[in-house]
Structure formats: C-alpha cells, structure tokens
Homo-oligomer: A and B are copies of this chain.
Amino acid sequence: MARITIADIADRAGVSTGAVSYALNDRPGVSARTRERILAIAAEMGWRPSQAARSLSGARAETIGLILARAPETLGFESFYMQFVAGIEQVLSERSYGLLLQVVPDVDAEIAAHRRWRAARRVDGVVVVDPRQDDPRLPLLTDADALPAVVVGDPSLAGGATAVWTDDAAALRECVGYLAGLGHRRIGRVTGTEAFGHTHIRDLAFDDETRRRGVEPRVERADFTPEAGAAATRALLTADRPVSAVVFDNDVMALAGLGVAHELGVRVPQDLSLVAWDDSPLCEAAFPQLTALSHDVTSYGAHVARRLFERIEGAPHGSFLDATPVLRVRGSTGPAAAES
C-alpha cells in the first residue's frame, strides 16, 4: 500500500489539509458532516487510524527548526537573534520542545538543509527569517510536502505562507516625522543587508516620507555589522553637505556610528541626532543613551512560535501583525543646530 498523506486526502475530499487534520484528530474545526465525509474518504484510500495516530501526534519530532543563512561569526554581534530565539524558547519550553538551529552560508544551503529536515522529519515546523524579494525558499513553504512554516516578515514577501510581521514602514515614517519636527533638513539612513525584503520596504518608506516632508534623504548601504555601520556613518558625516541626523537599521550600527561621532568631535545630540532600530541593553548602555525604534523582540519571537504551533495543529495560512515599533526618545536626539 502506498503511503497516504493528509494532502492526498485533502485533495480527494476537496478540503484544506487543516480540515483533514481536524477530522482525523477528532478536534473541533470542521462540521460533523464534513468530518464524516473526510473519514469515509480516508478509510476508502486505506488510511489507517494507527497510521494517523503516529503521524499526527505520537510521531512528532517535538522540535521546530530555524535556519540562519549568514556567516556564523556575525551572530554574536546582534542582540536581535538572541532575543528572538529567547522568545521562541519561552513558548517551546512550555511544551518541552527543542529548537533545531542551523547556520548555513547562503540561501541555497538553507534550502538543502530544509529539504533534509523534512525528508527525515527532523522538525515539526520551521521559522523562516530574512525573506527576500522573489525568495527562492517560498516553494518549499507552500508545496504539497510543505512543513508547517511561519515567515518572519512582510506578507508581501511570504508568497501566501503564514507571516508574522511588523509595520516597519509606519515606524520609519514616524521616526522621519519626529526628526523633521526637530528641524533636521538632511537625514541619513544606514541600511542593513540590501537583499533582505524589509530593507527594501524601509527604503521605500524613507524615500517617500522624506520627500513628503521636504527633507533631503541620504542612504548609505551597510550589512548590520559595526564595521560597515561605522564606515557608512563616516561617509554621511564627512560629505560636503553632512547630515544632522541618522537612522540606523539596527542597534550595533548605531553604536558604531556614535563611536565615529565621538572620534570626529561631532557632538551628540547638539550637532548630530542618532536613532537605532530595535531597542536593546546596548542602546541604554551608550552615552548618551540612544533613541530607538523600540520593539519587544522577545515577544515577537514568542508570537512567531505560537503561530507556528497553530499551523502545526492544522490552522490555515494567515498574516499576523505584531506590535509596530514605537519611538523611544533618549539622549541621542535633539533639535537641529541652526545652519551656519
């Protein structure tokens, strides 16, 4: 007898895999009539209850997977991922689940690792981060053998898979509005990795909101590392017409930028205002403390894990907006100096 999958039964019955899962698990979520029809079709196809029991509960790996496609040594710099993982672990620890974490050099290696995991049933579901435009991982998340997955990023990048996202455009617009209101007329932005979809979304919002407010935008590309953040800040501050405010795509680059300002003798906030993205102990530890677009990343990770468990239990795909980052004003931002 060939192996019968939930997707096979769903196809034959003309219902979602979630509905099949509810019916076979004897859980609420489908009508009594649909349940009976699904059970009849499953029986006709040779689905055995014992097989169902093993695949739906007994045989779970009790593990969810997270693959990070980046150089391992960059992980230590970013508090984002440790806080995010901490949030995932909060939800996993309630269920005695483990997190299988693998670091790979690029997206191709991520796809290969993902395929190995699903062939070997190593994980019950996956968290997919750093979605890109036309992301090559998307087919893996929506094909017939797809593992339950949550994409951490804008629904426009998730290709119909479940997404948990933050409204970065709204947050950046608020930040530009705040700086423009303080009189800043030239505002710099130091970006994260250009290939990431959320970098592009922030680019568009920054371009549009500066234009709308009659502010001159200056964008420098970086990649989340302190070195690149320092170089980008130096470029913005030593240009012919230097900026008087800079918004960074993470906290580490903002701190590196603060170091460059100290070094160049540019006073913060009197001569230069700095804003970090994602608040962290680093922002509070800096002198002056850094104004930041503050988002509870631990809570974000927990939210993602909860949505993934819902998918594992058969919930349909969906998009879920997490809290929008809010501007936490501290000592690194202030009124623009009068132009000399």
Could you tell me if B297 and A76 are in contact, using CB atoms closer than 8 angstroms? yes
Taken together as a complex, chains A and B put the C-alpha atoms of A286 and B79 apart, in Å, by 16
Could you tell me if B72 and A89 are in contact, using CB atoms closer than 8 angstroms? yes
Taken together as a complex, chains A and B put the C-alpha atoms of A72 and B258 apart, in Å, by 30
A 1-43 contacts with B by CB, 8 A = 1-6
Closest partner residue, chain B, to A103 (CB atom): B89
Taken together as a complex, chains A and B put the C-alpha atoms of A76 and B121 apart, in Å, by 29
Could you tell me if A120 and B50 are in contact, using CB atoms closer than 8 angstroms? yes
Most chain B beta-carbon contacts within 10 A, residue among A120, A258, A262: A120
B residues near A45, Cβ cutoff 8 Å: 1, 3
Selected from B78, B101, B104, B280, the residue in CB contact (under 8 A) with A101 is B101
A310 contacts the other chain (CB 8 A): no
A 88-112 contacts with B by CB, 8 A = 89-90, 92-93, 96-105
Least Cβ distance of A174 to chain B in Å?
A: 24
Q: Given the known A-B contacts A4-B3, A122-B54, are A259 and B282 also in contact in the complex, defined by CB atoms under 8 Å?
A: no
Interface residues on A, range: 35 or more
Could you tell me if A75 and B89 are in contact, using CB atoms closer than 8 angstroms? yes
Q: Given the known A-B contacts A82-B76, A82-B78, are A1 and B55 also in contact in the complex, defined by CB atoms under 8 Å?
A: yes
Closest partner residue, chain B, to A259 (CB atom): B285
Could you tell me if B89 and A85 are in contact, using CB atoms closer than 8 angstroms? no
Could you tell me if A2 and B54 are in contact, using CB atoms closer than 8 angstroms? yes
Could you tell me if B85 and A101 are in contact, using CB atoms closer than 8 angstroms? yes
Closest partner residue, chain B, to A283 (CB atom): B285
23 A–B contacts, CB within 8 A, in A order: A1-B45, A2-B3, A2-B55, A3-B55, A48-B119, A50-B119, A75-B85, A78-B82, A79-B79, A79-B82, A82-B82, A86-B103, A89-B101, A89-B103, A93-B104, A96-B113, A97-B102, A98-B100, A100-B100, A226-B284, A256-B285, A281-B282, A285-B285
Not counting A74-B86, A79-B82, a sample of 18 additional A-B residue pairs whose C-beta atoms are within 8 angstroms of each other reads: A1-B55, A2-B5, A2-B54, A2-B59, A5-B54, A51-B119, A65-B98, A72-B89, A75-B89, A76-B79, A76-B86, A98-B113, A99-B100, A226-B284, A226-B285, A258-B287, A281-B282, A286-B287
